Every structure is written in structure tokens, then in C-alpha cells.
Amino acid sequence: MLLYFDDEHALAQRIGAAAGLTTAPIARHRFPDGESKLTLPPQLPPRVVLLRGLDHQPNDKLAELLLTAGGARELGAQRLTPVAPYLAYMRQDMAFAPGEAVSQRILGRLLASHFDAVVTIDPHLHRINALADAVPAAHAVALPAAALLGRWIAQQQPGALLLGPDAEAAQWVEAAAQAAGTDWAVCRKQRHGDRAVQIALPSIAFGGRAVVLVDDVASTAGTLVAAARRAFAAGAASVDVAVTHALFVGNALESLHAAGVARVWSSDSVRHTSNYVGVAGLIAAALAGG
């Protein structure tokens, strides 16, 4: 059985159909003080999949995830697998100053203590090579969506130069370029704050080329905006953007268009108007594999 919350109904139905799973909603009631009361189906099968992306308002969603885990165990679930298409708290993978909590490690251990397996898409892993290093569950599965984006780009902008806005994006832009059958490169980034970044382009010719910026996640979009402006300054004919996780907080999307970006494409791992690439089949295949 696949359990889901109302805000992820559409994706849950697509996953359920692709994986052959019965789907059932989790009812929520919010008390005046902010606490949540959750109501699950009264009888659950031994294996339960729980869809709960940890994108916008991840703290509230994480609490719901843990409450559901406890409730599901009490109602008969023996094997619990959360599907978190976007897995929050993966950026903080080390202490950059004395006393900082390393959220990646802490959240990973927390999930491993409550669930038998964890499935996510393109987690932001920088200094580690595998999701299992951050989430020590029996099965920790990181699904790659970059190839899906690459095939979409090949249809929309054949022969485009795929450009990663920073070195961290290399793994995604390379995979997308291989799927699209086109060239790729990455920029160099120097960050001065959450919204202040400097971008240096790679030493290649941009004159007259169509460029697609590819990354795993867009939040404030500051890095993408800076990269788009530099690409245009170097002579790019057009700049589009393709990302796995379309967080786009505040006026991020408007900032991209103001910088000259024509089109923005994303997967439906996070619900957004830019969704063009579906991940239900990717998730269903992982669930079928155990």
C-alpha cells in the first residue's frame, strides 16, 4: 500500500498506477497550537510505502513523516519505505564552524532508525559518494533524474550546450549531456552568502550557442541567475534552465526570467508550474526492485 498526504495526491496516483500499488490518503487535522493529528487506514499490510517529499516547510513534513511511521507500525506495517523525492537537510554535510550541527548525518541516522528503506531522487551529496553513507538504513536508494532531463532537453533544444552552474553540478550535467548526446561543461562558483555568488565561465566558445543550465535543485536561483548573465555576456544565443527539484522560493523564477532565461523545465519531484518531466516511473521501478 502507498500512503500519501493530500498535497501529493497527483504524484501518489501516478506512482501507484506505475507500481501497481493500492493508494490511500492520510487525513490531517491541525490543532490551533500547530500540532498535527494524523489518521491512517485502520488496517495496513505488512509492506507500506509512504510518499512524503521534504521540500517546502520541511520541518513540519518531517514531523508528519515520523508520526506516520509510528502509527503505521502500530497498525500492522512491518516494512516501511518512505519515498522522499526531495530529501531535505543534505546540504549540511560537515561543520563549517565550531558547534554547527551536521544535519545530513543527524537526519540520516533518524530516518534509518524509523524506516527499513529510504528512496529519494538526486540528493545533494557533495562530499560523500553514496546515500547510504548519509542514511545508514538497510536500503538507501538515490534515483538519478538527470538522464530524464537530458532526454527532455534533446527534444526541446537539440544540440544545446549543457552547462553546470558550479562544480557540484558536474555529476548531473554530465549524465544529462550523455542522455541528450550533446556537449557539457561546468562553471566555477564563489559563494559570498545565500544569495550572493560570483560565477566564472569555462574556457569554451559561447558565441551563438544555445545554452541549458542544468542542476539538481533551484532554491533562490541566485547561482543560476549569475550563470545565465555570464553566458549571455559571453555571446550565448539563448539560455534555458533544467533542474530536478524546483523549489524556487520567493521571486526566484521571476529573477531567472529577468536575467534572460526563456524556459524553465523541472521534474515533478517537487510540484511546480515548471514540471515537464515525470518521475513516477523511476520511483515505481525502484519499489518493484525491493
The pLDDT, as a whole number, for residue 196 is 61
User: Which CATH topology does 146-268 take?
Assistant: Rossmann fold (3.40.50)
Report, in angstroms and rounded to the nearest whole number, the Rg of the chain calculated over CA atoms.
Answer: 20
pLDDT, position 260: 98
Give the model's pLDDT for residue 194.
Answer: 52
Q: What pLDDT, on a 0 to 100 scale, did the predictor assign at position 125?
A: 85
Domain ranges of the chain: 2-144+278-288, 146-268
Given a cut of 70, the residues of the chain with pLDDT beneath it are 191-197, 290
Identical fold between 2-144+278-288 and 146-268: yes
Give the fold, CATH level 3, of 2-144+278-288.
Answer: Rossmann fold (3.40.50)
Kindly give, in sequence order, each residue whose CB lies less than 8 Å from that of residue 94, ignoring residues fewer than 6 positions away.
102, 127
In degrees, rounded to 5, the angle at the alpha carbon of residue 16 between the alpha carbons of residues 6 and 3 is 45
Query: Which of 84, 8, 81 minimizes the C-alpha distance to 53?
Result: 84
Task: Give the H/E segment covering residue 195.
Answer: none
User: Residue 246 class from Cβ within 10 Å (0-12 exposed, 13-18 middle, 19+ buried)?
Assistant: buried
pLDDT in tens, 243-281: 999 999 999 999 999 999 999 999 999 999 999 999 999
The predicted pLDDT at position 124 comes to: 87
pLDDT of residue 190: 72
